[in-house]
A and B are shown apart, each in its own frame.
Chain A
Amino acid sequence: MSQFLQQLVNGLSIGSVYALMAVGYSLVYSIMNFSNFAHGGVIMLGAYFGFFSLTSLKLPFAAAFLIASVGTALLAVLIERVAYKPLRDRRAPFLYFIISAMGASILLENIVIATIGPTFRTYPEIFAREPISLGTLSIGRLDLIMFFVSAFCLAGLILFIEKTRIGKAIQAAAYNMKACALMGVNTDRVVLIVFALGGFLAGVAGVFFGMKYTVYPQIGNITTKSFIAAVFGGLGSLPGAVIGSVLLGIIETLVAGYLSSQFRDLIAFVILIGVLIFRPTGIMGKSTEDKA
């Protein structure tokens, strides 16, 4: 039983980081109806921004966090302007967006390989390694901080979307972009804000991911799992993305703990296909009308 609880705690912590990435996919999907595969590259660069702020610039941890997340927010906006804006203006079909996103992700990954190099880099140790003991449970300090910061960011995002005027505009655009524009909302700006929000959280997630594991150019491939989490929860739904991510994190750690760690990656894709077959809208997806 205590082992099960331990796995649950570990799953919760990794699931919360997945959630930070998954909401980035979901936010963009909700208003633009395409899967932004360049998001993985943005997360990867977030991990590098944080890494170099800590090592080369020797900044304090909080400042590194800020630099990484503001940097990725700007990067996400830049990608939108260069790779998606011309397609949006032309009302291109969703596929062109996906291919353009793939191109952007190839570009980002290889720019990093060409300039920084393909080597794995380890973050300096910021939090003490020894875990905190809670009865029979032992929780890593990093895991704990990851969980709380992620929860804080997600709560902030949901408040922003529910309570502010801009958030209302985002909700309206997600519901119907055209009608929203007719009502006088500057949808172009809404798109930019959505990319900036997704990019900001991607930076936070990237730093955590780099701290938990290592930093390397192909880190974006792992973020595919957070995309699966977004599909699992229902693409386009923020609460769905969070719930899907936490569930995926828990399922993964349970599978790795009780079956075999080799099945950990496989289970994510099995879930993906299962969800698509039986419930393509995911746990909390919006209308099935135009999806299945």
Chain B
Amino acid sequence: MDWTYIQGILMLAGINLIAVLGLCLLTGFTGLFSFGHAGFMAIGAYIGALMTVPPATTAGNIGGFGLPFVVGIVAGGAAAGLVSWLLGRITLNLKGDYFCIATLGFGEAIRLILNNVKTFGGARGWPGVPQYSTVWAVLVVDIVAVLFLANLVRSRHGRNMIAVREEELAAQIAGIDVFKYKMIALIVSAVYAGVAGVLFGHYMTFIQPKMFSMTKSTELTIIVIFGGLGSISGSVLGALVLTALPELLRAFDIWRLVFYGAAVILIMISRPKGLMGGMELSPAGLRKVAAARRARLAFKTEALREDAAEGLRAEEAAPGGKA
């Protein structure tokens, strides 16, 4: 395995991570499930490409505005955010399963619309997107994304979102504007997905509606669940492991997706909390884990001591006990 190959996997993991972090806020912290975030990635990828691709020179080329990468990232994220606001206004009042189904319909609709938009190449895709995504660009965006998210979930807004996740009705009674916080979570997650889409397009240098199918959305949700709902470090670990895993399993060729499917079921039935299960890999989080373990241990020794004492008493009381 040479460095460029590893670099490629790392970049892919980093790009997935951005979208996963957004979904982590929506799913892990706010309790809304989406099967349509690939749609937001598609919007980001196409708008981003429109900004950065140089103007068409020959008739066959699909031209853009030839602007710098940063403009592409901002525009892609903003476009996805705007669309999510529209989508949220009409679907956030739906509950549970039905919001989920609505996002599924949205994601597929975006893909099918792009399939029919001839100006962006339709189903054949859009080649010639400049290769602007570098390891450093992805890393910088990742760090910004993690820091922003970590601060958001610890703020008052983040706590309100967690309250909505835990018990929507109680949160509403406590005076939290449930709709508003769902909307914030949706918009932030869509912006993240849009930015991930821009980076993805400029990494692949070729975008096609097929790349942003429901399978992609499902993959993102699976990573969030695998990492553990409500854990940012879980999402980071999940994105790294689950992006690398299919690559490592490449030796098994066609069987790897069989393993992948089986693994998903296995995780759901055996460890539904995911890798991290609401815990964080941070100094504060580790202290919390350690404290919980100490408490458990103390409880156990106490119980053992009680058991031993109980046993002794029983022995003493027993008629004809040990002499």
Residues of A within 8 A of B (CB): 33-35, 82-83, 86-87, 90, 92, 94-96, 98-100, 102-111, 113-114, 224, 228, 231, 235, 262-263, 265-266, 269-270, 272-273, 276-277, 280, 290-292
Contacts and interface: CB of A to CB of B under 8 A. Distances in A.
A120 to B, nearest CB: 17
Nearest to A86: B269
Given A114-B255, A114-B258, 16 more contacts: A33-B97, A92-B268, A100-B268, A102-B222, A103-B268, A107-B258, A107-B265, A110-B255, A262-B115, A262-B116, A266-B112, A272-B101, A272-B102, A273-B105, A277-B102, A280-B94
B94 A292 contact: yes
Please classify how large the interface on chain B is, using the bins under 10, 10 to 19, 20 to 34, 35 or more: 35 or more
A103 B219 CA distance: 10
A263 B97 contact: no
9 contacts: A33-B97, A90-B272, A100-B265, A100-B268, A100-B269, A110-B258, A113-B254, A114-B255, A272-B102
Interface of B: 33, 90-91, 93-98, 100-102, 105-106, 108-109, 112-113, 115-116, 214, 218, 221-222, 225, 254-255, 257-258, 260-265, 268-270, 272
Contact of B261 (A110, A262, A291): A110
Given A106-B264, A113-B254, A276 B109 contact: no
Given A94-B97, A98-B100, A265 B264 contact: no
Nearest to B93: A292
Given A266-B109, A273-B105, A273-B106, A291 B33 contact: no
A211 B84 CA distance: 41
Contact of B102 (A35, A96, A273): A273
A103 B261 contact: yes
A107 B97 CA distance: 23
Contacts of B264: 99-100, 102-103, 106-107
Nearest to B215: A106
Contacts of B113: 266
Contacts of A113: 254, 257
Contacts of B225: 95-96, 99
B109 A104 contact: no
B262 A103 contact: yes
A105 B215 CA distance: 11
Nearest to A280: B98
A260 to B, nearest CB: 9
A108 B260 CA distance: 11
Contacts of B98: 276, 280, 291-292
A103 B105 CA distance: 19
Q: 5 closest pairs, A vs B, by CB?
A: A103-B264, A107-B261, A106-B261, A110-B257, A272-B105
A106 to B, nearest CB: 4
B189 to A, nearest CB: 16
Contacts of A108: 261
Contacts of A34: 97
B257 to A, nearest CB: 4
A276 B268 contact: no
B255 A92 contact: no
Contact of A35 (B101, B105, B261): B101
**Of listed B33, B101, B221, residue having the most chain A CB within 10 A:** B101
Contacts of A96: 225, 268, 272
A276 B262 contact: no
Contacts of B265: 82-83, 100, 103-104, 107
Contacts of A35: 97, 100-101
Contacts of B97: 33-35, 94, 235, 291
Given A103-B265, A106-B261, A272-B101, A277 B91 contact: yes
Nearest to B96: A94
A238 B263 CA distance: 33
A11 to B, nearest CB: 20
A113 B252 CA distance: 13
